[in-house]
Structure 1
Amino acid sequence: MKRLLAAFSAGLTLWVCGAAIAQDGEKLSVLCAADEAWCAAMQRAYELRTGVQTIMVRKSTGEVLDQIRREKDAPTIDVWWGGTGDTHLQAASENLLEAYLSPHEAELLPWAQNFFSMSGGQAAGIYAGALGFAYNRNLLETEGLPAPTCWKDLISDAYRGKIMTGNPNYAGTAFTTLATLVQLFGEDDAFLYMKALDRNVAEYTKAGSAPVKAAARGEALIGISFMHDAVTQKEAGAPLVIVAPCEGTGYEIGAVSIVRGTKNREEARRFVDFALSPAGQATGAAAGQNQVPSNAKAALPSGAPDLSIMKMVDYDFATFGTPEERDRLLLRFDTEVHPPSQ
């Protein structure tokens, strides 16, 4: 894990209109857990390059995992692209994915190569991003509230009903938040913190980027999300101030995987090859995304946060990427923090 951290430092939308038709008439089915704009850009780029018609459906990471589990005996999906890597690792441990070594794997940065090894070759890292939060500067000034700089600032009564964050049962971003807090504070103290934070949460969203989008629109004062999602909103003109929490923070490795049992195995492999290539990773910046790409030959988006200057936890993907740990922590969240009926 320390090597991974050191190296790291160095909802449905369907787009099918205007798609190219593959010569054999088959369609590649992809579940996308990245931002909607990136899903659409990736689909267009792949179809233009290959002439293969793709069906790209956007879902939150937890929803993708649930669907692949339900369909394990008769999968309808060929590729899972995007979303937090610990959930891909869970799927790999449940034998839901197929191993594939892309020729581009050798071009990837060390943190992505380490992730590939952890997955048993069943998931490849495509981008990285740090967790944080962002607040709406205009709302903060209007209401005369203090500017938060730390995780523990967010449980202040000053922010009662003014925060949005994801629901970890659905959003991979939110599960990363939960796992980050456990690693920062220890499990029991983390759950005490989340119970205090719950009093200030106006809404738990299914999509991980939704909280900072709401803050950008002025519908929430503070949104907890990955910082690159906040950068995208700020670059579009939103009055956001982006915060790397003072105590430290966690991070994600977004991944791509081939679903076990796919009937389009060769085309799925070609999609993975494109996703790991500099051209495929450039679709992120073209869609206004600011994650750090995994291919060393890919250009770094101009708005990508400088991960090397942030205080990062030594995120334990091996532990938090297991189904048992995910299920146990989610049950505790549902029981102690925010019951599903709320």
Structure 2
Amino acid sequence: MTLRGFFAGSALALASFGTAAADNLTLYCAAEEAWCQQIKTDFEAKTGITVDMTRKSSGETYAQVRAEASNPKGDVWWGGTGDPHLQAAEEDLTEAYESPNRGELQDWAIKQAAAADNKTIGVYSGALGFGYNKDLLAQNSLPEPKCWADLTKPEYKGHIQMANPNSSGTAYTMLATMVQLMGEDKGFEYLKALHKNINQYTKSGSAPIKAAGLGETTIGIVFMHDAVAQSAAGFPIVTICPCEGTGFEIGSMSLIKGARNPEAARQFYDWALTAEMQSKAKDAKSFQLPSNKNAAVSGLTPDLSTIKLIDYDFEKYGSSDERKRLLKKWDEEVSTLPQ
């Protein structure tokens, strides 16, 4: 599945928000903390439903949903990369649902739902890349990295951070991107070479670029919108779209199977697909591309139609067996190597 051609510029009526059967909702949010808090506050104000929100990375959220399968504590899993959402759907951890607001969504959001028999759906998208601290780059007399290949050069040793793909959807997207971009053998050779230059594998996908913004590392491998967010906050970060091409995410949303508050969960799901809700992402300094065609988009949001995107195979790399296999291989062949 590809996003190419889907980003060039009916709305359904906003779903009714009457009195919910339940007064509470437990939300697992895998986006940035500020955005998660905004979503919680806005939904509470819209509906009067009290939201208990927990923010974790995509991989951590998947692990929690899986661990709680026999006694689910969450109602909705919102955000984070789509691969673990697809894995959860395959493992029957989430519920099928077709919102009346589907007609407002981009084709790629609906294709994500189709790949999971409607057990998940796309809520935003963003391309993988990296960013660097231009002050640190100058202080260390380092050349500007422009390509994935540049990051394996010896002069960048100790200057790069990325997340651990076991906990981070961003880093798993990086792993799956290299395999698809280069082929599995060459992709893993690349990851081994990159490993020599990594100073830390973080738990959260956006942590590397935040560290770069604070001057704690020079380069962070992240989704490009996270690098843009650091620049928008005033940090000396330059965002790079790798010259070879890159992968992308379809940030997704799923209803947790066996949820305690299913009616409130569906209310949230419908609301989360509206242009009204998605237009507010920019207010939280989140610069992903929204899935609702009518949502307002920040001028700082990377234009995915201009980026060389690979034909990322979400069904394959979001499958349970493939994710487990690649993560095991990374654990055994990459993470254990000396640096």
**TM-based fold match above 0.5:** yes
Aligned length: 330
Q: Deviations over 1:241-274 (max 9, x none)?
A: 1100000000000011100001211110000111
Partner of 2:185: 188
State how 1:101-250 maps to structure 2 within 5 Å. Answer: 101-250=98-247
Secondary structure of the residue aligned to 1:80 is strand
Partner of 2:39: 42
Query: Quick one: structure 1 residues 25 and 8, their matched pair in 2 at CA, closer, same or farther if it must change by over 3 Å?
Result: closer
CA distance in 2, matches of 1:203, 1:276: 36
Query: Quick one: structure 1 residues 328 and 138, their matched pair in 2 at CA, closer, same or farther if it must change by over 3 Å?
Result: same
State how 1:260-275 maps to structure 2 within 5 Å. Answer: 260-275=257-272
Deviation, structure 1 residue 305: 0.4
Matching of residue 287 in structure 1 with residue 289 in structure 2:
no
Unaligned segments of structure 2, at least 5 residues:
10-18
Letter in 2 for 1:257: S
Secondary structure of the residue aligned to 1:75 is coil
Partner of 2:308: 311
Query: Quick one: structure 1 residues 107 and 159, their matched pair in 2 at CA, closer, same or farther if it must change by over 3 Å?
Result: same
Question: Please, which of 76, 79, 93 is the counterpart of residue 90 of structure 2?
Answer: 93
CA distance in 1, matches of 2:324, 2:293: 35
State how 1:12-23 maps to structure 2 within 5 Å. Answer: none
Q: Kindly, what percent of the aligned residue pairs are identical?
A: 50
Q: Deviations over 1:263-299 (max 9, x none)?
A: 2111100001111111211231110110000000101
| Length-normalised TM-score, structure 2 | 0.94
CA distance in 1, matches of 2:32, 2:107: 25
Partner of 1:329: 326
Q: Deviations over 1:298-325 (max 9, x none)?
A: 0112210011111110000010010100
Deviation, structure 1 residue 23: 7.7
Deviation, structure 1 residue 26: 3.5
Letter in 2 for 1:252: E
State whether residues 225 and 287 of structure 2, in contact with CA within 8 Å, keep that contact through their aligned partners in structure 1.
yes
State whether residues 213 and 235 of structure 2, in contact with CA within 8 Å, keep that contact through their aligned partners in structure 1.
yes
Partner of 2:5: 6
Question: Please, which of 252, 261, 278 is the counterpart of residue 249 of structure 2?
Answer: 252
| Length-normalised TM-score, structure 1 | 0.93
CA distance in 2, matches of 1:265, 1:340: 46
Deviation, structure 1 residue 224: 0.3
CA distance in 1, matches of 2:115, 2:338: 36
Deviation, structure 1 residue 93: 0.4
CA distance in 2, matches of 1:147, 1:23: 54
State whether residues 149 and 246 of structure 1, in contact with CA within 8 Å, keep that contact through their aligned partners in structure 2.
yes
State whether residues 129 and 221 of structure 2, in contact with CA within 8 Å, keep that contact through their aligned partners in structure 1.
yes
CA distance in 2, matches of 1:119, 1:180: 20
Letter in 2 for 1:185: M
CA distance in 2, matches of 1:6, 1:115: 16
Query: Quick one: structure 1 residues 271 and 237, their matched pair in 2 at CA, closer, same or farther if it must change by over 3 Å?
Result: same
Deviation, structure 1 residue 339: 3.2
Question: Please, which of 333, 336, 339 is the counterpart of residue 339 of structure 1?
Answer: 336
Query: Quick one: structure 1 residues 47 and 340, their matched pair in 2 at CA, closer, same or farther if it must change by over 3 Å?
Result: farther
State whether residues 9 and 307 of structure 1, in contact with CA within 8 Å, keep that contact through their aligned partners in structure 2.
no
Query: Quick one: structure 1 residues 282 and 149, their matched pair in 2 at CA, closer, same or farther if it must change by over 3 Å?
Result: same
State whether residues 5 and 111 of structure 1, in contact with CA within 8 Å, keep that contact through their aligned partners in structure 2.
no
Deviation, structure 1 residue 215: 0.7
Partner of 2:16: none
Letter in 1 for 2:241: A
